[in-house]
Structure 1
Amino acid sequence: MSQKPEVCNIYKSLKKDEMYLYVRKAEGFSRVPPVLLSMFGTPKLFGTLLLTPEKKLARADVALVLSDIAEKGFYLQMPPPREDYMLDLYRPDESKYQ
């Protein structure tokens, strides 16, 4: 089954840096669980986008985004994992070089 294009609103979380919520523009938050919205915080509109199977997204697989929106009514993009080596920059001693 081929995926159909979706016009989506993308919301940025004000509680968690680099967390985004994709929803169908026509449905809004009607299918997003209240507990998720509570955890997400007040959504701030980041943009509106026509998602197609051919579209490339920076940090998400468009096929998964379209699939989740069709099945669940939303797609939650989590922040990328923190790199351990970046934490080493803040160590005050020489152990970061071992």
Structure 2
Amino acid sequence: MQCYVYKGDRKEDHFVYLNEELDAEAPDQSLPAAILTLMGELSFVLEFDLTPDRQLPQADAVQVLADIEEQGFYLQMPKKDMRAEEDRLFS
């Protein structure tokens, strides 16, 4: 799958992975409002071919593919931020 990675202007170490280029005119059609609020204005970082056996620096390729297939995107956050968000949302 061709994968497109974007970063936001609010969180320097957060990235969102998509399987198609983000429509700059209507990003809310590709991503939930909560993600857009968290990330801020998105800018393109990288395009690459994502396969299940691809090594990614901070994510598991199989999980990235599954999340993109299931919800349309994968959000990469630092582990410490991810745990805090999980605690906030599910505690």
TM-score range (shorter-chain normalised) is: 0.7 to 0.9
- Give the TM-score normalised by structure 1: 0.70
- How many pairs align? 77
| Distance change (3 Å), C-alpha of 1:46 and 1:66 | same
Return the structure number with greater helix share. 2
Q: Give the gaps of 5 or more residues in structure 1.
A: 1-5, 83-98
Corresponding letter in the other structure for 2:60: D
1:8 aligns with 2:6: no
Q: TM-score, normalised by structure 2?
A: 0.74
Larger Rg: 1
* Separation (CA, whole Å) in 1 of partners of 2:44 and 2:30: 17
Counterpart mapping for 1:15-94 below 5 A: 15-25=10-20, 29=27, 30-81=29-80
Extract unaligned runs of 5+ from structure 2: 82-91
- 1:96 aligns with none
Residue by residue over 1:38-57, the C-alpha shift from the partner in whole angstroms, topping out at 9 and shown as x without a partner, is 22101111110110011000
Give the aligned residue type for 2:32: P
Deviation of the 1:32 alpha carbon: 1.4
